[in-house]
Structure 1
Amino acid sequence: MGAVPNTAHAQTPVLCSETSLVNAINAANAAGGDTLALVPSCTYQLTSAHGSGPTGPVGLPPITAPITLLGGGVTITRDPSAPAFRVLQVQGSANVPGTNGQLSLVGVTVRGGSAVPPFPGGGISNLGGSVSLLTSSVTGNTAVAGGGIYNDNGVVSLTASSVTGNSATASGGGIYVNSGGVTLFTTTVSGNTPDNCAPSGSTIGCT
């Protein structure tokens, strides 16, 4: 009998440093996608923006391919002394032609992002792509709208996750849906300022 092929998806390990994570995302985008295994319990602290897009500077390179960040007590955060920038941005073909951004976060906290006014999406900005959070959290981020998460013409799903302690100067302290859909599964969205989700009724289960 012939050998049984190994169908497990390979993972690329990423050392616990800003440079290693930036380089790994750039390589994954260029390769058309990858699963990046982050160091458990590591804090990846971003000291400068490493990307830009239609809505301002981004701490990590914009996600333009299917990429999974596997954590486990991992935090990705903007250094409090760094210039303002959001932490993550996903770019899909619906908004940015030629891209196929699909981001999955597993066991990752996104913290401390600050989108440059007047742009939305302090923690995660999804521009026509897809975002999936599993046992992850978005906290302590700020923007004009969508302090935690901003969704425009894309799809976002959160499972066993939380969006807490984010703020917006206008609305959607936790989540702002400009268009597209956000789905919550056993997920907490609370303690965001001035509200948790906007516009009202845009995210079922969010009050």
Structure 2
Amino acid sequence: MRSILGVCALTVALTAGLVAVPNEARAQTPVLCSETALVNAITAANAAGGDTLALVPFCTYQLTSAHGSGPTGPVGLPPITTPITLLGVGVTIARDPSAPAFRILQVQGAANVPGTKGQLSLVGVTIRGGSAVSPWPGGGISNLGGTVSLLTSAVTGNTAVAGGGIYTDNGAVSLVGSSVTGNTAGSSGGGIYVNSGGATLLGTNVSGNTPDNCAPSGSVIGCT
């Protein structure tokens, strides 16, 4: 009995020691509150193989023109081709209402665009006012073979022929504690359109999108 108790005590002590050791801090690149700064930071992050970009709290990054392009039309920001996190607190990335039509973000992965490995994580960021050029889908975010994760973020007021808020093809989308509201599609998937791949929701509100919230019907569990 004594030896068993000794082993247990040693295990607890080792576990406590492991817990007490902090995780190595990950470097973050600060991004000034301007369109140019954000465009340059994403371009640099792609070239470096990925990065965590720390956005200015409560800043609105207003996009006045497209700074990227792809197989499905113009994009407000350079397409995400590596693992990039946009880390914010009350941050908004929006298309200027007077700007020409373009979606806000596009993620490109190897399944659709060979040689890329796009992984986008949004934390505390709102994507607003994107407008994909017809007939292309994905007004706010278009995921072409990559992965997209939203945590405490929002996608609102975006438009496209399908997937007004979010469109995904051959990729994965997950939303935790987030919202997809007030987006519009010309055909279906006002909030989220899943062409292939999948989308998962946890504690997320998808509502008030036109003509529907998610499409095709049943493609996003928990979305009505």
Q: What TM-score do the two structures reach when normalised by structure 2?
A: 0.90
Residue pairs, 1:128-167, within 5 angstroms: 128-167=145-184
Task: Give the drift of 1:187.
Answer: 0.2
Corresponding residue of 1:185: 202
CA distance in structure 1 between the aligned counterparts of 2:114 and 2:153, rounded to whole angstroms? 29
Runs of 4 or more, structure 1, over 3 Å off, are none
Distance 2:55 2:176 in 1: 20
What amino acid maps onto 2:199 in structure 1? V
Partner of 2:5: none
Cα distance in 1, alignment partners of residues 180 and 75 from structure 2: 20
Query: Quick one: distance in 1 between partners of 2:22 and 2:107?
Result: 33
Q: Which of residues 121, 126, 140 in structure 2 aligns to 1:104?
A: 121
Larger Rg computed on CA atoms: 2
* Offset, 1:96: 0.2
Q: Which residue of 2 aligns with 1:127?
A: 144
Q: Residue 194 of structure 1 corresponds to which residue in structure 2?
A: 211
Look up the SS of the partner of 1:29 in the other structure: helix
Gaps of 5+ in 1: none
**2:82 aligned to which of 35, 59, 65:** 65
TM-score, normalised via structure 1 length: 0.97
Distance (whole Å) between structure 2 residues aligned to residue 173 and residue 5 of structure 1: 43
Determine if the alignment matches structure 1 residue 116 to structure 2 residue 147. Answer: no
Listed as ranges, the gaps of 5+ residues in structure 2 are 1-20
Distance 1:14 1:6 in 2: 24
Provide the residue aligned with 1:88 in structure 2: 105
Alpha-carbon shift at residue 5 of structure 1 (Å): 9.8
Matched letter for residue 181 of structure 1 = G
Aligned counterparts of 2:94 and 2:142: Cα–Cα separation in 1: 15
Distance 1:5 1:158 in 2: 27
> 1:77 and 1:5 mapped to 2: Cα distance?
36
Residue number in structure 1 paired with 2:189: 172
Question: 1:22 Cα deviation (Å)?
Answer: 0.1
Shift of 1:7: 1.8
Name the aligned partner's letter for residue 177 of structure 1. V
Is residue 48 of structure 2 the alignment partner of residue 20 of structure 1?
A: no
Q: Aligned partners of 2:24, 2:181: CA distance in 1, in Å? A: 37
Sequence identity (%): 86
Task: Return the alpha-carbon distance in structure 2 between the equivalents of residues 170 and 28 of structure 1.
Answer: 35
State the partner residue of 1:75. Answer: 92
The CA RMSD over aligned residues, in Å, is 1.0
Q: Distance in 2 between matches of 1:106 and 1:82?
A: 26
Amino acid at match of 1:192: N
The one-letter code sitting in structure 1 at the alignment partner of 2:162 is A
How many pairs align?
204
